[in-house]
Structure 1
Amino acid sequence: VPGSLRPLMLKYVHAGHTGVQGCIRRAKQMLFWVGMSSDITNTVESCTTCERYQQSNQKHEVMTHEIPTLPFEIVGSDLFHFQGDEYLLIADSYSGFFDFAKL
């Protein structure tokens, strides 16, 4: 991934605030650059949202979810805005695969 696109890719990989390992796992499915894991770690560790909601700060019980056994058995979706445009994000719970489209 060219250096000029890395900040945008870090933003997309980190959009779900899934922690360092979750973001690295997701990024490795489709991206590569030298130092990527380190860049992801720095991004997650400097995220105020992640810091506020990390596991050790939760005071309520975590809801359990069904664990999918097949790809696309359980998917999630979200709408988000970025630089004035609206996007649809779809994520597969089994594989971690995600895709987004500008609306």
Structure 2
Amino acid sequence: TWLVEVFHPEVAVGQKISFAVKNALLDRGLHASDRAPALAAGDIEVIGAVEPERAYPLVCARYAAAGSLRPDDALMAVVLRDPRETMLHVGVCADGRWRWLR
């Protein structure tokens, strides 16, 4: 099951991107869920203090350890990594491992 999260400063834009990504997954015969993985407040506080390049792999590992991502789940994150950029980046978290797609 694919879970999709979009991190964009404009909420309406993020919602449109999320909808489009989920539809693209469904068009390919994959299952997309509206469920979102969750972390404990303490995890969020610690991760918020970490530089972004290290934060994504750390969050991914915590999702797996906390059971927020089940063994048959994968999280696709669409991220605006730098507010000065217009290009979106996509990363995948599966089996507790994070990787940026190219």
TM-score category (smaller protein): 0.3 to 0.5
Query: What's the TM-score, normalizing by structure 1?
Result: 0.32
